[in-house]
């Protein structure tokens, strides 16, 4: 079916009572997860992953997608009201958002955030509808060599542009790849690295690892910083209306943020976070009011918030069209699809059109739901921030333990949760990036699968992995991106020009 028929078919799938309810629950739960400090979209989705197994694939993925873009909106609420980002993509919102709150414009800022998130999400859905089918058709030309280059090269690239030093990204990625080899080997059925523990024969459970890395480690971080937390001020409905000037100054950042976010969502890395940083820098460069940005300018909120929601939506393109997750959330969605027997990739649009088009159409519906519900519900989200920590933190810990145990009914996974939580806390203290570890665990089996298939088909000839024009282009692109920073530094030394890093986290 063509794109028009596909989106009409998807709307028919999404407009069933079950899927509408899944989108509503996902969007509201995602907003709450984004609002509450100590959680984020990755940990929140990991905790509902067992619940998604009890639903059909379409409803489960619609709920998970709703939580993702809902969390993108919710994270901005704490950033604006108490100068604490609910998740990493809202870090830039703290700067101008909190300054505007101190000027008494918190309600207006939250309305601008809601509208910007809607604009970025809806326009990005249109882009997904246009880009995903052609990309899926192109993906049919891929074989083991091309998929190996895409998965291995994408993972390497992801680990480098996640931020920090070389070791900060590559070391966690290596840990994730090592953990992905634990358990039964797919071809021969032999146990690997189980060390006599029968529980390890089924591999490392993704839910336990992700909730430990993000949920438990973040709880420890919140407990450590309890004394510095600020309680939010009350925001009434009368305070929610922006002025005409604020509306006028927001439309251009909405447009720039949407385009920038959509592009970043198609690339490996923490797209929502990187797009919000890039949007903020773009506004400081091109805005008519760039001198005010950093001191409480609406452009410093409208652009980044639109960009991170657009990136959250467009990150579904490589997942659905190629079966490659370029982030932690899409890695979890890939795991959910594989549990249901749905193989994302070039043939998904043909083999599972109800999932492919249903998820895309649900993102359009979900963004409308967010706009309609979140503005009048802002007082509810503010009330969540007033929950006493002695109630909130044990509740989150209980949910984390239940979520980890319920996947396989295994106490081993609960022990793994606690160990990984401690590891995540230590790694975060040492400024290591956690996302490459999660993506390495998910992509590890795929990388091994494509490697073995390529070696088998070529009778052990390694050149098959770089002789294909597509594979060669992918490897050349990865090498180019990794070398941008050292090349820029070399250029600066030769010509005496002081340069800044071109790619965040690139090789120095």
State pLDDT tens for residues 3-37.
Answer: 778 788 888 888 889 999 988 888 888 888 777 76
Can you give the pLDDT at residue 508? 36
Structure token digits, residue 92: 């830039």
Percent of the residues in the chain that have a pLDDT greater than 70, as a whole number: 86
Beta bridge partners of 191: 184
Quick one: average pLDDT of 395-422? 81
Please give the mean pLDDT across all residues of the chain.
78
The residue with greater pLDDT, 422 or 108, is 422
Q: Flag whether pLDDT at 270 surpasses 50.
A: yes
Q: Flag whether pLDDT at 488 surpasses 70.
A: no
Can you give the pLDDT at residue 228? 57
Can you give the pLDDT at residue 164? 62
| 111, 178, 439 from 76: Cα distances, Å | 11, 35, 25
Quick one: average pLDDT of 416-439? 84
Quick one: average pLDDT of 131-151? 79
Quick one: average pLDDT of 128-149? 79
Can you give the pLDDT at residue 500? 54
Q: Flag whether pLDDT at 277 surpasses 50.
A: yes
Alpha carbon dihedral 209, 215, 217, 221, in 10-degree steps, equals 170
Least confident of 93-102, 361-370, 483-492: 483-492
Can you give the pLDDT at residue 502? 47
Band (pLDDT 50/70/90 cuts) for residue 141 is confident
Residue 298 phi/psi, 5° resolution?
Answer: -65, -25
| Closest to 357 (Cα-Cα) out of 10, 22, 78 | 10
Task: Assess contact for 23 and 66: CB atoms under 8 A.
Answer: yes
The residue with greater pLDDT, 120 or 34, is 120
Burial category of 186 from C-beta neighbours within 10 Å (exposed 0-12, middle 13-18, buried 19 and up): exposed
Can you give the pLDDT at residue 236? 58
Domain limits, the chain? 3-230+240-467
Per the listing, tokens 């503005």 go with 375
Instruction: Summarize pLDDT for 364-399 with one digit per residue, the tens.
Output: 888 888 888 777 777 777 777 677 777 777 877 887
Can you give the pLDDT at residue 295? 80
| 130, 225, 328, 483, 506 from 496: Cα distances, Å | 45, 44, 40, 19, 21
The pTM for the full model equals 0.74
DSSP assignment, residue 417? H
Q: Flag whether pLDDT at 334 surpasses 70.
A: yes
Structure token digits, residue 241: 């209306």
Stated length of the chain = 508
């Amino acid at each position: 079916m063509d794109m028009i028929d596909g989106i009409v078919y998807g709307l028919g799938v999404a407009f069933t009572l079950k899927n509408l309810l899944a989108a509503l629950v996902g969007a509201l739960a995602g907003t709450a997860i984004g609002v509450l400090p100590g959680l984020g979209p990755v940990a929140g989705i990991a905790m509902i992953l067992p619940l998604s197994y009890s639903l059909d694939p379409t409803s489960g993925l619609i709920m998970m997608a709703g939580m993702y873009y809902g969390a993108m909106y919710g994270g901005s609420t704490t950033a604006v009201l108490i100068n604490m980002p609910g998740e990493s993509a809202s870090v830039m919102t703290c700067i101008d958002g909190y300054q505007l709150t101190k000027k008494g414009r918190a309600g207006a800022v939250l309305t601008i955030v809601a509208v910007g998130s809607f604009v970025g999400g809806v326009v990005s859905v249109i882009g997904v509808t246009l880009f995903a089918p052609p990309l899926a058709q192109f993906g049919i030309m891929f074989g083991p060599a091309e998929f190996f280059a895409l998965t291995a090269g994408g993972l390497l690239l992801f680990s480098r542009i996640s931020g920090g030093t070389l070791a900060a990204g590559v070391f966690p990625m290596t840990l994730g790849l090592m953990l992905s080899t634990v358990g039964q080997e797919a071809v021969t059925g032999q146990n690997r690295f189980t060390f006599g523990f029968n529980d390890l024969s089924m591999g490392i459970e993704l839910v336990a690892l992700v909730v430990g890395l993000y949920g438990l480690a973040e709880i420890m971080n919140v407990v450590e910083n309890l004394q510095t937390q600020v309680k939010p001020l009350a925001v009434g409905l009368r305070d929610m209306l922006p002025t005409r000037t604020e509306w006028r100054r927001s439309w251009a950042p909405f447009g720039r943020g949407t385009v920038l976010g959509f592009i970043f969502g198609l690339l490996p890395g923490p797209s929502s976070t990187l797009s919000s940083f890039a949007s903020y820098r773009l506004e400081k460069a091109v805005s008519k009011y760039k001198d005010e940005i950093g001191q409480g300018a609406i452009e410093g909120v409208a652009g980044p918030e639109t960009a991170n929601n657009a990136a959250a939506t467009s990150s579904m393109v490589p997942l659905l069209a190629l079966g490659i997750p370029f982030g932690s959330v899409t890695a979890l969605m890939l795991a959910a699809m594989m549990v249901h027997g749905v193989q994302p990739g070039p043939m998904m649009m043909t083999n599972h059109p109800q999932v492919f088009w249903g998820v895309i159409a649900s993102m359009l519906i979900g963004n409308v739901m967010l706009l309609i519900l979140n503005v009048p519900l802002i007082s509810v989200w503010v009330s969540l921030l007033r929950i006493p920590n002695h109630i909130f933190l044990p509740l989150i810990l209980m949910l984390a333990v239940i979520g980890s145990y319920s996947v396989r009914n295994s106490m081993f996974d609960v022990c793994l949760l606690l160990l990984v939580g401690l590891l995540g806390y230590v790694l975060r203290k040492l400024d290591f990036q956690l996302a490459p570890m999660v993506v390495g665990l998910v992509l590890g089996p795929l990388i091994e699968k494509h490697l073995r298939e390529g070696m088998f088909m070529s009778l052990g000839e390694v050149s098959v992995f770089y002789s294909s024009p597509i594979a060669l282009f992918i490897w050349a692109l990865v090498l180019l991106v990794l070398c941008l920073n050292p090349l820029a530094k070399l250029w600066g030394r030769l010509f005496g020009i002081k340069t800044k890093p071109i790619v965040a986290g690139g090789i120095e």
